[in-house]
A = this chain, B = another copy of it.
């Protein structure tokens, strides 16, 4: 195996952690505050109320009682802990930390001598451990690892990390070359083991991640994941080895977690077979199976994919977790390739399909994110399978991960968020301050706040939704603009106080679906900047049914500081008295219940 620290793949970027980023953004800051004040607390409360945390105390023998809930419920606790960890990194909170330390004590106590840890089997079916590849043992372990790494970095406390390592060692002792085969039915462990390797530098974890990926597609899952229920091997991406994969299939979240791990590993190894498979899979997902919201997986049946261009709106499944998975995967694809088309997907999913998953109040959630509703689909406080709320509890505090990246010769600005960032460049740090009212306005101002000069490229993503822009350095229009893979590449010796201003033109755009998407024949969607809009009944009471967009329809763009946390509405105005109001998709179902549509009838006459 090659030296893991060697940079093999061209263009590859290094991530900049959200811990290097201070967000001052009017769009995101309220969401971060609500996350801390409400979402984390709501998720912790629910984990307590529903017995998810008590399962650990029972498994530890600290209290009596049967396992409560579904077999993979441990994962929710881990995901909330991961969210707590990220929150503590930016907002220390001793009482919260103390509470979590108590939970971690129970988790550690529940771990068995050999390292095994899943409350369900410990409490319910000790003899059935490692007999059913679809019982999410490693899925839950993966989430434990992610939480442990996060909590260690947040607090310096090793206890959970030690549990994680002991668990990973148990996996490594049980499975691997010359030992047992194993195909994790729900991927997650693979990307987690890469994280654990990065944290501990323990190569066994890296090798196990690689080995687990290579286990897929050889039939080892037959009868122990698939071919025993109504699923075939595609359901859990076990139908063929990775290097042969061509099209996305099966359960959407599983696919995203798998692709995320493949990308992590390909970035280090440069494995061309993996990279080619990723390129094929990306085209399959993004060009033929992605909703305009960045949502994926049209079907409730398999929580996943059916066939290309099958994109119903009212029954669109588009699980919140899957959109978060799109962010994870596409962010890594961008780190691998340095191509803004991946950041475009990160942005699309984040501002639309992910954010719609949580209410403005921060305590109600969508599992399913359809693009059309008859008025009966609403966010709720919790689910029996509550992966989505806990997904958001860990995703939101880490959104700063997606704004910046670095490479040997440059700084990369991927998402426009008002923030400050410190980026390591050539044994120094470049400090930037970004000012913007994005996503409401396309003006971005970036000021160099470092105290020394740096010659490097400043790579600014030219968003896919944007056709034209104006770029100024220190007030002067840039003479000749160079773009590379969708980034504006500005090179100079940057001095303290240097300011770059970019005005990205942000008109309202009509978007048509691919002609093969039958559900959207004769329909059009409207988008402004990264935000997909929808029409809700509450804004369009009497005429909701008759709303249509004609060639003459013009759009009034209006700031509403007091509406839904401060949004820009789009007012369709046409000659036929078919005026309508559209709001960003991510804020729908935050007022009176009623029908909603993203795709609007188009009248071409």
- Point out residues on A near B: beta carbons under 8 Å: 462, 466-471, 477-486, 505-510, 528, 552, 554-560, 570-571, 573-575, 579
- Bound CA span A505–B442, Å: 11
Contact assessment for B556 and A481 in the assembled complex, using a CB-CB cutoff below 8 Å: yes
Contact assessment for A556 and B470 in the assembled complex, using a CB-CB cutoff below 8 Å: yes
- Taking a contact as CB atoms closer than 8 A, the residue among B468, B478, B559, B570 that contacts A528 in the complex is B468
Query: Shortest beta-carbon distance, A553 to chain B, in Å?
Result: 9
From A469, A478, A507, A575, name the one whose CB has the most chain B CB atoms within 10 angstroms.
A507
From A466, A505, A507, A556, name the one whose CB has the most chain B CB atoms within 10 angstroms.
A556
Contact assessment for B556 and A471 in the assembled complex, using a CB-CB cutoff below 8 Å: yes
Given contacts A483-B573, A508-B505, A558 and B468 within 8 Å (CB-CB): no
List, in ascending order, chain B residues with CB within 8 A of A469's CB.
554-557
- Bound CA span A485–B576, Å: 10
- Bound CA span A554–B145, Å: 42
Contact assessment for B478 and A558 in the assembled complex, using a CB-CB cutoff below 8 Å: yes
Contact assessment for B559 and A477 in the assembled complex, using a CB-CB cutoff below 8 Å: yes
11 contacts between A and B (CB under 8 A): A462-B554, A467-B509, A468-B528, A469-B557, A471-B556, A477-B558, A477-B560, A478-B558, A483-B554, A486-B552, A507-B507
- Bound CA span A479–B569, Å: 11
- Bound CA span A136–B478, Å: 54
Name the residue of chain B whose CB is nearest to the CB of A484: B575
Query: Shortest beta-carbon distance, A497 to chain B, in Å?
Result: 23
- Bound CA span A506–B506, Å: 9
From A468, A480, A484, A574, name the one whose CB has the most chain B CB atoms within 10 angstroms.
A468
List, in ascending order, chain B residues with CB within 8 A of A485's CB.
575
List, in ascending order, chain B residues with CB within 8 A of A510's CB.
467
- Bound CA span A573–B467, Å: 10
- Bound CA span A220–B468, Å: 56
- Taking a contact as CB atoms closer than 8 A, the residue among B471, B509, B557, B575 that contacts A483 in the complex is B575
List, in ascending order, chain B residues with CB within 8 A of A466's CB.
507, 554
Name the residue of chain B whose CB is nearest to the CB of A568: B470
Contact assessment for B480 and A555 in the assembled complex, using a CB-CB cutoff below 8 Å: no
List, in ascending order, chain B residues with CB within 8 A of A528's CB.
468
Contact assessment for A554 and B468 in the assembled complex, using a CB-CB cutoff below 8 Å: yes
Name the residue of chain B whose CB is nearest to the CB of A504: B507
Query: Shortest beta-carbon distance, A264 to chain B, in Å?
Result: 26
Q: Which 9 A-B pairs have the closest CB atoms?
A: A505-B507, A468-B508, A468-B555, A481-B556, A477-B558, A468-B507, A483-B573, A470-B557, A462-B554
Contact assessment for B484 and A556 in the assembled complex, using a CB-CB cutoff below 8 Å: no
Name the residue of chain B whose CB is nearest to the CB of A561: B477
* New A-B pairs, 17, CB < 8 Å, besides A471-B556, A481-B579: A462-B554, A466-B554, A467-B554, A468-B507, A469-B556, A469-B557, A470-B556, A477-B558, A479-B558, A480-B571, A480-B579, A481-B571, A482-B573, A483-B573, A486-B552, A505-B507, A507-B507
- Bound CA span A299–B558, Å: 47
- Taking a contact as CB atoms closer than 8 A, the residue among B467, B480, B571, B574 that contacts A508 in the complex is B467
